[in-house]
Structure 1
Amino acid sequence: MHILHVIGRSIGQIYFLPNAMSGWLMLGAVLLWSPPAAAFLLLGVLTQNACAYVLRAPAEDVHQGVYGFNGALVGIAAYLLAGFGVRGALCAILGSAVCAGLQYWLVPVLARINLPGMTAPFCLVASVFSLFPASWGMPAESAAVGGVAGIMRGALTSFSQVMLAGAPLTAAIIVAALALGSVRLLIFGAGGAAVGIVGGLAITAGSVSEGLTGYCAVLAAMALGVALPVASNRRTRILTAAGAALLSVVILAVFHSLHWAAFTWPFVLSVWIVVGVHGWLGQATSQRRRL
């Protein structure tokens, strides 16, 4: 039962939600979209957690799924980039093992400068994967849907694109899983998706109807609105979350203009920037008060 809880929480932690039932629902959502992707997701979760055991990572972190969510994302990316076979499985295993090491050694270093690790280990590993030959490329995007229907589809699939899936049914199940575990996370995520849609339409940072302009905004809003709030005041927290979500769209547009694989880098970088600026402003305010 313990390992089932860890697996579920590992998947839920992709959305800052250490809820085992929600995590298993999310796995079911991925399974409906792509059984091979779900299999590789599980492979990544199990590998990273096994490596965490070898590293003697903090038991509470493992129990809460902290040593599994990056492996889950790496597993899906390995399937999409390398295919369902030996090569893809090796990428999932090796990449998830590296994520465990990064979580164990790099994330504490980032914490010393008050920066959260989040999906940085996944981004680093997936970015290395993306350097391989073009034959490893991701599947082509679905045809864009225009008008109001496209906007509604984009708002929904912003949630599933976090796990590299653009299927509306998968997205709907993920939304239900979030509602089951944390309505606050869902509300902030929906707000982030809205910012991502509006920002995407204004900046043309990607396919709006496929959720490709909103998935990083969803995570950024969840992070600074609920999981890693830099302000206790609700109004300031909302504005901070919205600002980070919009910044993620801008960073995503930069990645696209440079033809770089974005993964969740825009989310990570936008949160780091906002957290860094907030910390700098806090220090400046404290210094002025001492004068």
Structure 2
Amino acid sequence: MNWSLTIDKALPRPLRIILRGVGQVFFCCNAVTGLIFLVALFIGSVTAGAAATVGVISSTVAAYLLGFSEDDIDAGLYGFNGTLVGPCLFLFLEHSPQLWLYVVLASILSSIVLAALMRILHPYNVPASTSPFVLTCWMFLVAVYAFDSFTRGPILPPPGIPTVVTGVGAIPAEVWFTALTKGIGEVMFADSVVVGILFLTGIAIVSWRGALMALSGAFVGVIVPMLFGANQNLIEMGLYAFNPVLTMMALGWVFLKPSGKSAVLAILAGILTVVCQAGLASFLTPIGLPTLTFPFVLVMWMFLFAAGKSKYWSGPAAK
């Protein structure tokens, strides 16, 4: 929307870059949207909001000091992985003063990993997206075994053998709204209906198609696992939806030319993201790591590589 772009451009450059970095979590290069996302995070949890703020500032400043592309920094591309790193580490690890330093270091590394992956993937016109966040957080979560100052939190899956799913069944109609909105909120680890609504509002400010893809991804993340007999509690918490949300936004709005054909491809990719998430969850269970957004990254990469061989889908990778 024009009014949001006017506000975006009127903000001081450092603030604009930081807020754009937050907005880029949902592919939105807009400071107004980023502000809405950040406010939503603080509403959901002050700690999560503070951790996201520390993360986005650390990753962005690191990119600037390391001399990475000014255009990419201005677009907030070196901020969104750091935005995710902060809440992630505070969700899965016990809180301590040292954890703030841990977030800063992980956010700095996410920018370095992003620059490296951008260099590797550039010839193929495929974005790194949230893969730096995933790789960095996996390393930092595993590293806590070697440090006495850090302890795994109760939410982090304990290492073990995958077990047979329980709590299977169709979710009640009155729970659908909660599942859908939480599915959008869980992209930034927010278990909140209000946060999910605010996230969707922020996306809609930038693009109605983007918001439609996000909402459609949430529907896919509820319907498909329910049909396949996934754990009902996980569906209700939106934990099967946040990856399809990102996948469908990426393919149906951002990285392929927006059209009916790309929307169909996005739906197929969203469905397969659910299966990919279930498979990766079982694969990672023995080492006690969460899937994070890797199902989205993996499916998006495969579809974008494949789209380059198809006469039906084309469009440059933008982020």
* TM-score, normalization by structure 2: 0.82
Asked if 1:87 is matched to 2:98, the reply is yes
Q: Distance in 2 between matches of 1:205 and 1:252?
A: 11
1:205, 1:249 within 8 Å by CA — same for their partners in 2?
Answer: no
Give the equivalent residue in structure 1 for 2:260: 235
1:161-180 matched pairs, under 5 angstroms: 161-180=186-205
Give the equivalent residue in structure 1 for 2:294: 265
Q: 1:125-150 deviations in whole A, cap 9, x for unaligned?
A: 11113323494135389x99940122
Equivalent in 152, 155, 174 of residue 136 of structure 1: 152
- Comparing 150-159 with 82-91, which one deviates more in the overlay? 82-91
* TM-score, normalization by structure 1: 0.90
Asked if 1:192 is matched to 2:221, the reply is no
Give the equivalent residue in structure 2 for 1:274: 303
Q: Distance in 2 between matches of 1:125 and 1:154?
A: 28
2:214, 2:245 within 8 Å by CA — same for their partners in 1?
Answer: yes
2:156, 2:290 within 8 Å by CA — same for their partners in 1?
Answer: no
Q: CA 1:202/1:137 → structure 2, altered by over 3 Å: closer, same or farther?
A: farther
- Comparing 131-140 with 269-278, which one deviates more in the overlay? 131-140
1:213, 1:252 within 8 Å by CA — same for their partners in 2?
Answer: yes
Give the equivalent residue in structure 2 for 1:76: 87
2:94, 2:153 within 8 Å by CA — same for their partners in 1?
Answer: no
Percent of aligned positions that are identical: 27
**Structure 2 SS opposite 1:280:** coil
Q: Distance in 2 between matches of 1:83 and 1:210?
A: 22
> Structure 2: which amino acid aligns with 1:32?
I
1:217, 1:248 within 8 Å by CA — same for their partners in 2?
Answer: yes
What value does the CA root-mean-square deviation take over the aligned residues?
Answer: 2.2
**Structure 2 SS opposite 1:211:** coil
Q: Tell me which protein shows more helix as a share of its residues.
A: 1
> Structure 2: which amino acid aligns with 1:243?
L
Q: CA 1:268/1:204 → structure 2, altered by over 3 Å: closer, same or farther?
A: farther
> Structure 2: which amino acid aligns with 1:99?
S
Q: CA 1:138/1:65 → structure 2, altered by over 3 Å: closer, same or farther?
A: farther
Asked if 1:215 is matched to 2:231, the reply is no
Q: CA 1:205/1:271 → structure 2, altered by over 3 Å: closer, same or farther?
A: farther
Give the equivalent residue in structure 2 for 1:203: 228
Q: Distance in 1 between matches of 2:307 and 2:81?
A: 26
Q: Distance in 1 between matches of 2:63 and 2:49?
A: 21
Residue segments in structure 2 that go unaligned for 5+ positions in a row: 1-11, 158-166, 312-319
